[in-house]
Structures are given as C-alpha cells and as structure tokens.
Amino acid sequence: MDRLEAMSAFVAVVEAGGFSAAARHLRTPLATVSRRVSELEGHLRVQLLVRTTRSVTLTETGQRYFETARRLLEELGEAERLVTGEYTSPRGTLSVAAPVSLGRIYLAPIITEFLQAYPEVDVALQLGDEVINLADEGIDIALRVGDLPDSGLKAIQLGEIRRVVCASAAYLKGVHPVSSPDDLRHHACITFTALESAHEWSFRVGKSVKRIPVHSRLSASAADAAADAAAAGLGVTRLLCYQALPAIRAKKLKLILRDFEPSPTPVSFVYRAGRSMPQKLRAFIDFVTPRMKSRLVFDP
C-alpha cells in the first residue's frame, strides 16, 4: 500500500462527500479509490468511514484522522510548490472556469493577453454554464454570474450585467407603441430560453417585480439566434446586455423599456482561500481584474 496515495484518496472522499465525486476529482477509477481507502483502514485497523448507499460519514476516529491527514497533505503540497517555485514566480498551469458566452466574449481575449505577458504560465479554460465546485473539479478561479452564497470562497466583484429588451427600428415602426411592459401583450416576442420563460417575462415596476405574459413567435437556446431574429424584424427580444451590444452598436437593434429593467446581476471572480496564494493566481487576478472591470461596462 502506498500510504500517501491512500491518505489522499481518503481525504478526497471526505471533502467531495462520496467515492464517485472523489474519483472524478482525482481522475482515478472509482474501484481504485475504494480499494485505497479500504487498504488504509486495514493498515490502521480502524473504521474511518461509515458507508451507506446514499452517503459516506466519518466515524469519531475517522474525523480525528481526517483533520490530521488533511493538514499533512496541505503542508506537503505547500512544500512541493515552494520547491518548484510556484510561490516565488508565476509559473505552472492555472485552471479557470467561466460561463460560455461571458467567457468567450470577455474573458478569453484577456487570457490571451495574460499568456503573452506571462510565458511560464499555462491556462486551462473550462467554459460551461453550470455552477461547479472548485475543489471537486480542481479549479483555481472561476467567473460567476449572480449573487454569491455565503461560503469559504474569496470573491472579487468585477461589474454588473443587465437584462435588456430590444427590437429593430423596422419592427417598431408602425406597430403598437412599447412604452410599458404591459404593451408586450400586443407584440411578437423572441425568447432566449436560457434567460427567460417563453411564456412570461419579469420586469421591475416601481419597487416590485411584475410578470408579463408574452407570446414567443420564436424561442431559442442561443442568444445569437434571438438577436439575429430580432434584428431581422421578427419581434421584441430580451438578452443580457453584452449579448445585445454588438447589434446595438451596429444599429440593428434599439433598446426599449429601460426604466423597467430588473436589478442588474453581479459578476465576480471566486477562488479558494488559503494561507498563501500561488504567484500564478496572484498574477492572473492582478492582470485580469482591472481589464474585466473596464470592459464590463454597458454603454451603448
């Protein structure tokens, strides 16, 4: 038995909340993780975990062993990083997660600039709209949209995103005026389904939120498709501000109902807190943060 591998597998199972999640995090077969933990229990001659079909919980002895094992692994990892220079100069691979559209439009170009400035750092960019656990997936820093739950993660707010309603000038000409959300009942709508229901949209009216029934002539899972349809004069659409901005700047779409936009949604970087921060992460935060803040400004 490799005691270090067995200890790492045990800690991963506890932190991930189960064997399957630990196997994904370690990129190791599930059977291997299970065997290593069983070998560790056999070597120690104690039961560390209580396994059921739905959960894994620590025994009292397991809790004490976990706390010590995690501390030892953290200290070993820190010692290795110090030796390889990760804490003395920016180098190594940095794992970054971001939503698909926001990451592609805003973050990816800045990462290109960052890589040119730091030739000893590599970036693994993971684009996906699901919220992932940084520890489970081995992510160093993530771009998040929305209010952040109270957690042990550090956060840096970068800006805000607005949900905007727009239509082409050709469509708006000669149709029922759109001066309030209620007027949408008389219009064809185009729904970006990742953002809104195809049957009703919500607006801020005074201090409350009002839901307005809409008729979606087209509902699309891609923002580009909704923007293109609106620019072609099919109807009124609602998008995130950065998704609509290219068509607005090209004068293909006009903003309407600005006074009724819902409260903006914050955009933040989140990363795991530690006693010390690798220089590659510090360099990334210092380089990317001001550039994201300057670009996440909606000014048509």
CATH number for the domain spanning 156: value is: 3.40.190.10
Strand order in the sheet with 92-98: 121-127, 92-98, 141-145, 265-272, 153-161
Range of lowest pLDDT (73-82, 107-116, 278-287): 73-82
CA atoms within 13 A on the CB side of 238: 29
Q: Please say if the pLDDT value at position 86 is more than 90.
A: no
SS3 92: strand
Q: E strand or H helix at 127, and its extent?
A: strand 121-127
Q: Based on the domain organization, do 29 and 64 belong to the same domain?
A: yes
Question: Residue 147: which pLDDT band, with cuts at 50, 70 and 90?
Answer: confident
Number of domains in the chain: 3
Per residue in 217-238, pLDDT tens?
Answer: 999 988 889 999 999 999 999 9
Residue 133: predicted pLDDT: 81
Range of 127-131, 148-152, 278-282 with top mean pLDDT: 278-282
**Which of 145, 136, 131, 153 is closest to 292 using CA atoms?**
145
Residues 200 and 220 in one domain: yes
Q: Are residues 11 and 71 in contact, defined by beta-carbon separation less than 8 angstroms? A: no
Task: Give the pLDDT band of residue 181 (cuts 50, 70, 90).
Answer: very high
Instruction: Say yes or no: 41 and 28 in one domain.
Output: yes
Q: Within the chain, where are the H helices?
A: 3-16, 19-26, 30-44, 60-84, 100-102, 108-117, 134-137, 169-172, 223-231, 241-249, 279-295
When pLDDT is averaged across residues 259-278 and rounded to a whole number, the result is: 86
Does one domain contain both 155 and 219? no
Residues 6+ apart with CB under 8 A from 178: 165, 167, 172, 184, 187, 236, 256, 257
The reply to whether 300 falls in a domain is no
Residue 82 pLDDT grade (very low, low, confident, very high; cuts 50, 70, 90): low
Whether 245 and 184 map to the same domain: the answer is yes
Residue 168 has pLDDT above 90, yes or no: yes
Is residue 15 domain-shared with residue 65, that is, in the same domain? yes
Looking up tokens 């940084």, which residue turns up? 134
My answer on whether 98 and 239 are in the same domain is: no
Please indicate, yes or no, whether residues 251 and 168 belong to a single structural domain of this protein.
Answer: yes
pLDDT at residue 87 tops 70 = no
Give yes or no: residues 291 and 234 share one domain: no
Same structural domain for residues 80 and 22? yes
- Bridge partners (DSSP) of residue 256 are 165
Three-state secondary structure readout of 5-31: HHHHHHHHHHHHCCHHHHHHHHCCCHH
Q: What is the mean pLDDT of residues 168-173?
A: 93
Residue range(s) defining the domain that contains residue 97: 92-161+265-295
Residue 40 has pLDDT above 90, yes or no: no
Do 57 and 69 share a domain, yes or no?
A: yes
Residue 256 and residue 177 share a domain: yes
